[in-house]
């Protein structure tokens, strides 16, 4: 797989999002997950993304136990500042002392001496971003992490963070049907020299053509438990109508639906005409892992990119990516209200 620049690192053009090994999309088997992790490195993936919140530490422990002997083969990213309380409710805490404690715990679970890229998982509205970033900078100076990043951040918050300490990467949801980063964040990242990492690049499975509406999902599936409006039966049925012409475009390119969605992201260019995005599709299935890897070899014609932009975007689909309450709590969504930040 060809590589792209991520701050001081060279990584595979596609990374691997590891959350589904521990939570989010129904049960997973540790033995099979370990097999997929090993296969990912064998297939050329050299960028793995996890978080302390995924499975309450289970995800990091799985990666540590499985890949300890191959640690030199991949760039490791994890996240801090987001956890769950005893009731399962998400808790955001960006205080520096909390982030440092979470880092120490993550290092032990990951069985490594240093985390290559450490993200603030969510901005804490009660803690200035400069304080949280300052805490992460302390971890860099202590040799615990090599670089820092931000997740689901607004353009204004990114600029404030960058003034405190150089930011290596921003991670936010970005796909054909989730375009918030196009408002101003992608341009700001390019201006500041910050890498952009799209998560949920397959629309939580929608662009594989295999996703189902919420009436068919298990209780522990994030598309159901967090009430993603696009997966509610009426909206899902309407959105699914787009998959037929989407499949026709995939057929023209000789690829699968998932590969087409990933290739669209890989084809996005910055102001200098360079493709720089590093999507991190997640899967717990070996076949899908290898299928996704094939997207890195696709070169989409400009006409196909244009056709995809016109076919699927936030004006052609039904439903927001989150409920109204969740959208209001996301710092990244501030860019819709203040696009000139």
| CB 223, CB 231: distance < 8 Å | yes
Strands (DSSP E) found in the chain:
3-6, 9-12, 16-17, 47-49, 75-80, 82-84, 90-92, 115-120, 145-151, 169-173, 195-199
Helix (H) / strand (E) containing 164: helix 155-164
Contacts of 49 (CB under 8 A, 6+ apart): 15, 16, 17, 18, 77, 78, 171, 197, 199, 280
DSSP 277-300: -----B-S-HHHHHHHHGGGG---
Instruction: Report helix, strand or coil for 264.
Output: helix
**Among candidate residues 309, 286, 276, the one with its CA nearest the CA of residue 2:** 276
- Rounded to a whole number of angstroms, the CA Rg of the chain reads 19
User: Which residue among the candidates 25, 45, 54, 174 is catalytic per the annotation?
Assistant: 54
**Among candidate residues 204, 252, 255, 256, the one with its CA nearest the CA of residue 230:** 204
Instruction: Report helix, strand or coil for 222.
Output: helix
| CB 17, CB 27: distance < 8 Å | no
Instruction: Report helix, strand or coil for 205.
Output: coil
Q: Which two tokens stand for residue 293?
A: 């890897």
Q: Is 174 a catalytic residue?
A: no
**Residue that is written with structure tokens 């971890």 in the block:** 139
**Among candidate residues 286, 230, 216, 250, the one with its CA nearest the CA of residue 45:** 286
What residues are annotated to the active site? 54
């Amino acid at each position: 797989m060809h590589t792209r620049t991520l701050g001081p690192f060279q990584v595979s053009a596609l990374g691997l999002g590891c959350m589904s090994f521990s939570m989010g999309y129904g049960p997973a088997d540790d033995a099979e997950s370990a097999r997929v992790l090993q296969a990912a490195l064998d297939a050329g993936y050299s960028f793995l993304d996890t978080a302390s919140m995924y499975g309450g530490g289970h995800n990091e422990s799985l990666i540590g136990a499985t890949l300890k002997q191959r640690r030199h083969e991949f760039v490791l990213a994890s996240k801090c500042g987001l956890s769950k309380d005893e009731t399962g409710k998400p808790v955001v805490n960006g205080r520096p002392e909390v982030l440092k404690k979470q880092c120490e715990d993550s290092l032990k679970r990951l069985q490594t001496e240093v985390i290559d890229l450490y993200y603030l998982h969510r901005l804490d509205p009660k803690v200035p971003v400069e304080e949280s970033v300052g805490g992460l900078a302390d971890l860099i100076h202590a040799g615990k992490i090599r670089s820092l990043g931000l997740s689901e951040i607004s353009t204004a918050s990114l600029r404030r963070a960058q003034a405190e300490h150089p930011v290596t990467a921003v991670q936010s949801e970005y796909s054909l049907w989730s375009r918030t980063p196009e408002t101003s964040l992608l341009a700001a990242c390019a201006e500041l020299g910050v890498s952009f990492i799209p998560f949920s690049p397959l629309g939580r499975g929608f662009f594989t053509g295999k996703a189902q509406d919420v009436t068919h999902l298990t209780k522990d599936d994030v598309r159901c438990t967090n009430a993603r409006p696009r997966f509610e039966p009426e909206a899902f049925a309407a959105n699914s109508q787009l998959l037929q012409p989407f499949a026709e475009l995939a057929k023209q390119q000789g690829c699968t639906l998932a590969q087409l969605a990933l290739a669209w992201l890989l084809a996005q260019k910055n102001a200098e005409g360079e493709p720089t995005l590093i999507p991190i599709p997640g899967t717990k299935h070996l076949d899908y892992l290898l299928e996704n890897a094939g997207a890195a070899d696709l070169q989409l014609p400009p006409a196909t990119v244009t056709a995809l932009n016109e076919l699927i975007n936030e004006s052609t689909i039904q439903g927001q990516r989150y409920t109204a309450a969740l959208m209001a709590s996301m710092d990244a969504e501030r860019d819709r209200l203040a696009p000139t930040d």
